[in-house]
Structure 1
Amino acid sequence: MHFSIPETEVRSSENGSSYVAYNIHVNGVLHCRVRYSQLLGLHEQIKKEYGSNVVPTFPPKKIFTLTPAEVEQRREQLEKYMQAVRQHPLLGASELFNSFLRKAQQETQQIPTEDAALDICLSNGQKVTVNILTSDQTEDVLDAAAVKLDLPDDLVGYFSLFLVREGVDGNLTFIRKLQDFELPYVSITSLQSSDYHIILRKSYWDMAYDGDVMDNRVGLNLLYAQTLSDVERGWILVNKDQHRQLKSLQEKGSKKEFIHLGQTLKYYGYLKFDPCITDFPEKGCQVIVSAGNNELNFHVKLPNEQMKEGSFKVTRMRCWRVTSSQVPISNGTTNPCNSTKCEAKLELAFEYLMSKDRLQWVTITSQQAIMMSTCLQSMVDELMVKKSGGSIKKMLRRRNNGSIHRSDSQQAVKSPPLLDSPDPSREQIVKLSVSIILSSFWSLDIKLKKTKLNSVSLRGISASNSANDISGDDFHGNYAFEGIGDDDLSISTTKLSQWPVV
C-alpha cells in the first residue's frame, strides 16, 4: 500500500479556531484527515508500546504558529514518518497503527457507529447482504460474508474483498484489495457512487491450492462462479472447441470438471487491468496488462498497429517501484500542486533481466499501478512460503495488508528516502513518492546525491530463466547484484540470505 500526504487544508474546529489538517492518501485516494496532535499522540503510543529505538523520527513541536513554508516542511516530514511506520515489519502490521487509521477514516467521513447492511458481490453477479457495524474492519466483514455463505473458517483466508468499479459496458476495474486498516462500509459509502462495489474473489495465485477450495461445496461454488465469470468476460481465452466443452460441462452442472478444464486454458486465474501505456518495446505503446502465474503478461499495440504479446516473470525482476506524482492538469506550472489544479499520475516500473548480462527498466503508466505492485508482492509472498515449506493457509489468513511475517533475515529493510523515474525525459513533477521492492534478500545502501527518494522496502527472490519470458534469452544460476547506480544515486548491495533459483 502506498501512503502519502499530498496536501494540507486549513479547517475550523468546533470552538471556531483554525487548524491545519493533513490529508492522508492511500493508493492515491483520500483515506482520512488528521491533525498534527493526533499523529503526535499515535507516535507517543507507538513509542511507549515498542520502544523509542524502533520508532521513526517524528517532526518536533513548534512554539509559534507555522509559516506556510514550515507547514509544507512538516507535511513532508509527516509523510515520510507515515511511510516509515507503514513499511516497518512490526509497526506497520500493528493493531495500534491500523486502529488509528480506521478511527481517523470514520471521523473524517463522519459516519457514526451503528448497525448497517452491506452488499458483497460474488463473481456471478449475485449479492450477499451482510449485517455489520459501520465500524467493522475488513476482516470482520469478510468473516460475516463467510458465515452468510457457510464458508468454513479454514477456507476464509483463501478469499479477499476487493473494491471494484463497474463501467457502462459492465466491465469491472479492480481498484484495490480492501485492507485491515480500513472500514469497508465507510470506504464504499464515501465514494458516493453506485458504480463501486465490493466483490469477493480468491486471493491466491497458484492453482495448486484450488484443490483445497474445491473440497468444500461452498468453496467449489465460489471458484466455479469466478472461473465462469472470467471466461464470459474474456479474461480466460478459449477457442470454439474449448468453448463448446465448457458449455456442455456448465449445462451438466459439472463444476469440478469445468474448473479443471479452465485450469488448462490461457490466463486462468489472471487479473486483467484496464488498457494503459508502456515504454516497452517502444515508448508510448498501448498495452493490456494481466497478472497471474507469477508474471505480468503484456498484450502490446505497437505504433505501426502490430500486436505483440509476452510475459515478464516475477523471478527475473530485480526490483520494482511505484511512483506517485501530482502533475499540473492544465497550466503546466511548476508551482506546488493543490487539490484543484493537479491530478495523480501513477507509474509501475520494474528492472528486468532481459538476458544474462542485460537489465532493463520497463515502465507502465496506469491508475492501477499500485494494484499491479500488490499483485507482484503477493506472488512473491506465495513463492517464498512455498519454497520454505510453510503453510499457505497460515500465510493467507495472517497476511496483513499484503505483507507476511518473515524471519529477521527476511524482514523488509528500511532505507532512506527518494528515487526518480527511470525515464529522464518525463515531464517535471511537483511531488513524488516511490516504493521499491528488490528481488532476492539484499541489504540496500543508498547514498543520495541529487535525486530524492521517499520510501524503499525490500522483498523478493532471485532471477531464473523461463521459456515464456518476453526476452527469450536463457539465464542459468543466481544473479549477483553489483553496485548499480546513476548520476543521481549510488547503490551498493549486500546478500542477506541465499534464495534458490525457482
Structure 2
Amino acid sequence: MHFSIPETEVRSGENGSTYVAYNIHVNGVLHCRVRYSQLLGLHEQMKKEYGSNVVPSFPPKKIFTLTPTEVEQRRDHLEKYMQAVRQDPLLGASESFNSFLRKAQQETQQIPTEEVALDVCLSNGQKVTVNVLSSDQTEDVLDVVATKLDLPEDLVAYFSLFLVREGEEGGLTLVRKLQEFELPYVSITSLHSSDFHILLRKSYWDMAYDADVMDNRVGLNLLYAQTVADVERGWILVNKDQRRQLKSLQEKGSKKEFIHLGQTLKYYGYVKFDPCATDFPEQGCQVMVGAGNNELNFHVKLPNHQMKEGSFKVTRMRCWRVTSSQVPIANGADGPSPSAKCDVKLELAFEYLMSKDRLRWVTISSQQAIMMSICLQSMVDELMVKKSGGGIKKMLRKRHNGTGTARGPDGQQAVKSPPLLDSPEQSCEQIIKLSTKLSSASLRGTGGSNPAGDAAAGHFHGNYAFEGIGDEDL
C-alpha cells in the first residue's frame, strides 16, 4: 500500500483556534485527516508496545507556532514516518496502527457508529445486503457476507472485498482491495457516487485452488458467476467455437464443466486494468496490462500504431516500487496557480531481468499502479507459500499487503521465459523452476517521485521469488 501526506490544511478547532491537519492518502486517495498530536499519540503507544528501537523516529515537538517552511518539513517527516511504519512487517500489521487508521477515517468522514445496511455485489450483478456497524472493519464485513451467503468458514479466506467502479458498457475498474485498516461502509459512503460498489471476488491466482472452492455449492456458484462475468467483459479470451461451447454448458447449467473449460482459455484468472502508458519497449506507448499466471501481460500499441504482446514473469522481477507525484490542475488560460489543487500521478516501476546480467527498469503510468503492486505481491506470496508447503488459508488471512521483502544472493536458479513483445499469435506459456535456496534480506528505499532509473528512490518491494537465468535459457 502506498501512504503519502501530499498536503496540509489549516482547520478550525472547537474553541475557534486553528490547527494544521495532515491529510493522509492511501493509494493516492484521501483516507483521513489527523493532527500532529494524534500521530504523536500513536507513536507513543507503539513505543510502549514494541520499544523505541523498533519504532521509527518521530519529528519532535515545537514550542512556538510553526512557520510555513517548518510545516512543510514536518509534513515530509510525518509522511516518511507513516511509510516506514507501514513497511515494517510487525508495526504495519499491528492492531495499534490499523485501529488508529480506522478511527481516523471514521472521524474524518464524520460518520457515527451505528447499524447500517451495506450492499455487496456479486459477479453476476446480484447484491447481497448485510447489516453491519458503520465501524466494522473489512474482515468483519467479509465474515458477515460469507455468513449471509452460507459460505463455509474454511473458504472465506479464498475471497476478498474489492472497491470497484462500473464503467460504460459493462466495463469494470478494480480500484483497490479493501484493507484491514479501513471501514468498508465509510469507504464507499465517502465517495458519494453510485458508480462505485463493493464487489466479492476470489483473491488467489493459482487455479489449482479452484478445486477447493468448487467442492462447495456456494463456492461453486461464486466462482462460476465470476468466470461468466470475466468472459462477458472480455477479460478471458475466447474464439467463436469456445464461446459456443461455453454457451451450451451455460444453458445446461453445467457449472463445473463451464469453469473447467474456462481454465483452458487464455487469461483465465487474470485481472485486467484500464488502458495506460508505458516506456517499454519505448517511450510513449499505450498499453493494456493484465495480471495473472504469475506475470504482467502487456498488449502494447507502439507509436507507429503496431500492436505487440508480451509478458513479464514475476519470477524475473528483481524488485518493484510505486511512486507518486503531484500534478497541478490547470485553472484557466494562465495555467495552475501556486495554490491550485493537484492530481496524483501514480507509477509502477519494476526492474526486470531481460537476459543474463541485463536488468532493465520498466515503468507503467496508471492510477491503478498500487493495485498492480498488490497483485504482484500476492503472486509472490502464493509462490513462496507453495514452495514452503504452506496453506493458502493461512496466507490469505495473515498476509500483509504492500510489505515487500528482498531475496538473498543464493536465490538465483534457472527459469524459462517467453520472448518479450512477440506477436500475439505466439504462446506466452512457460515452465517455472522455483529456486530451492531462497533467503531474505530487508530492502527499503525512501519516498520520492524520481524516475525509475534512479535506484535510490521509491519504496522498493524486493522479490523472494526472483530467479536468475541459467546457461540453458540463453
Scaled by the length of structure 1, what TM-score is found? 0.84
Name 1:429's counterpart in structure 2: none
1:391-439 Cα deviation digits (max 9, x unpaired): 1111112223455999999667264524654467xxxxxxxxxxxxxxx
| Change in 2 beyond 3 A, CA 1:404/1:348 | closer
The alpha carbon displacement at 1:458 in A equals: 3.5
Task: Please say if residues 295 and 312 of structure 1, whose CA atoms lie closer than 8 Å, have aligned partners that are also in contact.
Answer: yes
The aligned amino acid for 1:327 is V
Task: Please say if residues 318 and 463 of structure 2, whose CA atoms lie closer than 8 Å, have aligned partners that are also in contact.
Answer: no
Name 1:235's counterpart in structure 2: 235
Residues in 1 aligned to 2:401 and 2:447: alpha-carbon distance in whole angstroms = 23
The alpha carbon displacement at 1:45 in A equals: 0.3
Aligned pairs for 1:12-23 within 5 A? 12-23=12-23
| Change in 2 beyond 3 A, CA 1:151/1:162 | same
Residues in 1 aligned to 2:217 and 2:341: alpha-carbon distance in whole angstroms = 52
Q: Are residues 1:378 and 2:407 paired?
A: no
Aligned pairs for 1:265-344 within 5 A? 265-330=265-330, 340-344=340-344
Task: Please say if residues 297 and 309 of structure 2, whose CA atoms lie closer than 8 Å, have aligned partners that are also in contact.
Answer: yes
Task: Please say if residues 323 and 459 of structure 2, whose CA atoms lie closer than 8 Å, have aligned partners that are also in contact.
Answer: no
Residues in 2 aligned to 1:150 and 1:460: alpha-carbon distance in whole angstroms = 36
- Of residues 451, 460, 463 in structure 1, which corresponds to 2:464? 460
Name 2:429's counterpart in structure 1: none
Residues in 2 aligned to 1:46 and 1:336: alpha-carbon distance in whole angstroms = 40
Q: Are residues 1:80 and 2:110 paired?
A: no
Residues in 1 aligned to 2:310 and 2:77: alpha-carbon distance in whole angstroms = 41
Name 2:195's counterpart in structure 1: 195
Structure 1 stretch displaced more, 250-259 or 323-332: 323-332
Q: Secondary structure at the match of 1:169?
A: helix
Task: Please say if residues 270 and 290 of structure 1, whose CA atoms lie closer than 8 Å, have aligned partners that are also in contact.
Answer: yes
Q: Secondary structure at the match of 1:145?
A: helix
Residues in 2 aligned to 1:234 and 1:457: alpha-carbon distance in whole angstroms = 30
Between the aligned residues of both structures, percent identity stands at: 79
Q: Secondary structure at the match of 1:90?
A: helix
The alpha carbon displacement at 1:463 in A equals: 2.0
The alpha carbon displacement at 1:302 in A equals: 1.3
Residues in 1 aligned to 2:462 and 2:239: alpha-carbon distance in whole angstroms = 41
Name 2:345's counterpart in structure 1: 345
The aligned amino acid for 2:465 is I
Task: Please say if residues 322 and 458 of structure 2, whose CA atoms lie closer than 8 Å, have aligned partners that are also in contact.
Answer: no
Residues in 2 aligned to 1:280 and 1:474: alpha-carbon distance in whole angstroms = 26
Task: Please say if residues 356 and 474 of structure 1, whose CA atoms lie closer than 8 Å, have aligned partners that are also in contact.
Answer: no
The alpha carbon displacement at 1:275 in A equals: 0.5
Name 2:96's counterpart in structure 1: 96
Aligned length: 444
Residues in 1 aligned to 2:234 and 2:407: alpha-carbon distance in whole angstroms = 41
Name 1:41's counterpart in structure 2: 41
The aligned amino acid for 1:283 is Q
Q: Structure 1 unaligned runs (5+)?
A: 425-449, 467-472, 477-502
Q: Are residues 1:354 and 2:375 paired?
A: no
Aligned pairs for 1:484-499 within 5 A? none
Residues in 2 aligned to 1:375 and 1:80: alpha-carbon distance in whole angstroms = 24
The aligned amino acid for 1:356 is K
| Change in 2 beyond 3 A, CA 1:462/1:452 | closer
Aligned pairs for 1:394-473 within 5 A? 394-401=394-401, 413=442, 415=444, 417-418=446-447, 421-422=450-451, 453=457, 455-463=459-467
The alpha carbon displacement at 1:353 in A equals: 1.1
Residues in 2 aligned to 1:56 and 1:316: alpha-carbon distance in whole angstroms = 32
The alpha carbon displacement at 1:456 in A equals: 4.0
Q: Structure 2 unaligned runs (5+)?
A: 409-437
Scaled by the length of structure 2, what TM-score is found? 0.89
Question: RMSD across aligned C-alpha pairs, in angstroms?
Answer: 2.6
1:34-56 Cα deviation digits (max 9, x unpaired): 00000000000000011111110
| Change in 2 beyond 3 A, CA 1:198/1:411 | farther
The aligned amino acid for 1:209 is Y
Residues in 2 aligned to 1:279 and 1:451: alpha-carbon distance in whole angstroms = 17
Name 2:433's counterpart in structure 1: none
| Change in 2 beyond 3 A, CA 1:223/1:75 | same
The aligned amino acid for 1:241 is D
Name 1:427's counterpart in structure 2: none
Structure 1 stretch displaced more, 347-356 or 411-420: 411-420
Aligned pairs for 1:87-236 within 5 A? 87-236=87-236
Residues in 2 aligned to 1:177 and 1:104: alpha-carbon distance in whole angstroms = 19
| Change in 2 beyond 3 A, CA 1:396/1:452 | closer
The aligned amino acid for 2:172 is L
1:197-236 Cα deviation digits (max 9, x unpaired): 0000000000010001001100000000000000011110
Residues in 2 aligned to 1:248 and 1:55: alpha-carbon distance in whole angstroms = 59
Structure 1 stretch displaced more, 311-320 or 97-106: 311-320
The alpha carbon displacement at 1:455 in A equals: 3.6
| Change in 2 beyond 3 A, CA 1:11/1:269 | same
Task: Please say if residues 106 and 186 of structure 1, whose CA atoms lie closer than 8 Å, have aligned partners that are also in contact.
Answer: yes
Residues in 1 aligned to 2:159 and 2:403: alpha-carbon distance in whole angstroms = 15
Residues in 1 aligned to 2:399 and 2:160: alpha-carbon distance in whole angstroms = 11
